[in-house]
Copies of this chain bind each other. A is one copy, B any other.
């Protein structure tokens, strides 16, 4: 396993600063992960209180993004980082944008949950939605672990998993659309469930982006927009 060491500077303060932004990033990741879990839970269990909590908490995540960005900019200005330190900072700046947007998607799911609760949706396709949700959360957790341990191979594995998320989403969404055709009374509610599934798929995309930044961070190569199936030989 490739592993990068960042604590190599003669300045202890600099080491601490770099460690700080890594910790802040991982904290933010943990918060976002919980938001996604709770949003899905609120929808499946019809828990309006939980959904409202998720919506409120999103403000805190937004604030974290701004704070981490500021820290990164200050370190660049003050420390003039090079090589792997600079890659760490660029990877952090990029990753937090995706984390913040995963937070936004969780908020959207929580809002749909509130709608479905109010409109008393029948719960059709909740089982399949939960299955997709579990898959997305599993990938997100693995991506955050890969980020914490700077494990490029794990990150590549997770990035490749995104194809399964996409195909499961397509399947579920087609089923929901068929259901809408057959049950016009449920149509408006089923649309909301379709949106929530789309939000899960989007979370999968952002998770994949984070994996690509981990690979960039560890390997120093940019793997974005390259077909992830073909890069194994070239990069590892």
In the complex, A69 has a CB within 8 A of chain B? yes
Given A73-B86, A73-B90, A222-B69, verify A181-B181 contact (CB < 8 Å): no
**Complex Cα distance A62/B222, Å?**
12
B residues less than 8 Å from A59 (CB atoms): 225
**Known A94-B93, A180-B180; contact A225-B86, beta-carbon cutoff 8 A:** no
A63 sits at the interface (CB 8 A):
yes
Chain A 181-216 interface residues, beta-carbon cutoff 8 Å to B: 181, 184, 187-188, 191, 194
CB distance from A195 to the nearest CB of B (A): 8
> A1 at interface (Cβ–Cβ under 8 A)?
no
Is A175's beta carbon under 8 Å from chain B? no
Q: Answer yes or no: A224 CB below 8 A from chain B CBs.
A: yes
Minimal Cβ-Cβ distance residue in B for A174: B188
A82 within 8 A of B: yes
Closest B residue by C-beta to A82 = B77
Contacts of A181 in B (CB 8 A): 184, 187-188
Q: Is B224 in contact with A65, judged by CB distance below 8 angstroms?
A: yes
**Docked pose: A187 CA to B222 CA in angstroms:** 41
Interface residues of A (CB under 8 A from B): 59, 62-63, 65-66, 69-70, 73, 76-77, 80-83, 86-87, 90, 93-94, 97, 177, 180-181, 184, 187-188, 191, 194, 222, 224-225
